[in-house]
Amino acid sequence: MKYMLLINVPRGTGAFQSDDWSAKDIEAHMAYLAQLNGELKRGGELAGLEALAPPVKARIVRVSDDGKPLVTDGPFAEAKEFLAGYWIVEVPSAKRAFEIAAKASAAPGPGGTPLLMPIEVREVRDAPRDT
């Protein structure tokens, strides 16, 4: 089964205001995530992952009356959190996806204190196929 683990972080300029972190704290945080990603890859559980740019760079796109893209600025005016990135894992059960999400949640922040990031876990369903 595939699961998407979504990293939701408080609003701001970056994940958990990481723009204000020391270089040492950022290095420790990234090393932790690199280690987790390596474990998942070596275990054959990592199907994909990406970090996302902050909401200030996000755009909403709808189709206009003439069928062209209608692009507006960032979508999170009222949001308290935004999506910062995700993993897609292929694991045998939801329980394993939860274990991975808990590890991701414990990534260190300033001073090495675990961030306790909220990680949303969603099952990835197969898309309808052409017949």
Residue, of 78 and 118, whose pLDDT is higher: 118
Percent of the chain topping pLDDT 70: 89
The domains located in the chain, with CATH, are 2-124 (3.30.70.1060)
Looking up tokens 């922040």 gives 109
In 3D, which of 36, 6, 11, 32 has the Cα closest to residue 114? 32
Q: Where does the pLDDT of residue 82 fall: very low under 50, low under 70, confident under 90, or very high at 90 and above? A: confident
**Exposure on the CB side of residue 72, measured as CA atoms within 13 A:** 7
Give, rounded to a whole angstrom, the gap between the first and last alpha carbons of the chain. 23
pLDDT, tens digit (0-9, with 9 covering 90-100), for 90-111 = 999 999 999 999 999 999 999 9
Is residue 11 within 8 A of residue 80, CB to CB? The reply is: yes
Dist CA 98 CA 93 (whole Å): 9
Q: Smallest Cα–Cα separation from 5: which of 73, 96, 74, 81?
A: 96
43-66 confidence digits (pLDDT tens): 999 999 998 887 778 888 889 999
Prediction pTM value: 0.82
Q: Compute the Cα dihedral for 124, 105, 41, 19 and give only its sign.
A: positive
Smallest Cα–Cα separation from 100: which of 43, 61, 50?
Answer: 43
